Amino acid sequence: MTEKDEERADALFHALADRTRRDIMRRVLAGEHSVSALAAEYDMSFAAVQKHVAVLEKAGLLAKRRSGREQLASGDVTAVRSVASMLIELEQIWRGRIARIDELIATDSMTDLNEKE
């Protein structure tokens, strides 16, 4: 991964590290919500919800648009897919390691069988 890709991954995972932001993402992926409507769902100030939305927007996970006096937020499925692909890449590395361990165990077992004969 390039330095820019690593910075993007940092921003994405930082944004998703907070449970409120993950909940906001669930809501905006299901459909567009006004920031005011989102704020009404949480036991925190409007400004605090705005900050969470700003972190998600900066990471590219959601986009805002203005409609009259309201700011409407919607989730970016492409960004979510990029997070998923990063996790799949890590899982493939882990699965490769498990496969190598399985090979070592199988080789060790064959050695034990040959020694007993």
Q: Quick one: pLDDT band at residue 110, thresholds 50, 70, 90?
A: low
For residue 62, how many other CB atoms are within 10 A of its CB?
26
pLDDT value at residue 69: 93
**Spatial contact of 64 and 71, defined as CB atoms under 8 Å apart:** yes
Better-scored residue on pLDDT, 98 or 63: 63
Separation CA 74–CA 33 (nearest Å) = 7
Domain ranges of the chain: 3-116
Confidence of residue 113 (pLDDT cuts 50, 70, 90): low
Any idea which architecture 3-116 has in CATH? Answer: Orthogonal Bundle (1.10)
The pair of three-digit structure tokens given for residue 22, joined into one six-digit string: 């993950």
Task: Give the pLDDT confidence score for residue 66 in this predicted structure.
Answer: 95
Return the top range by mean pLDDT from 37-51, 67-81, 83-97.
37-51
Write down the pLDDT at residue 30. Answer: 95
Under 8 Å between Cβ of 62 and 33: no
Query: Is the backbone of residue 108 left (phi > 0), alpha (psi -120 to 50) or beta?
Result: alpha
d(CA 54, CA 63): 9
Element (H, E) at 106: helix 77-116
Express each pLDDT in 10-52 by its tens digit: 899 899 999 999 999 999 999 999 999 999 999 999 999 999 9
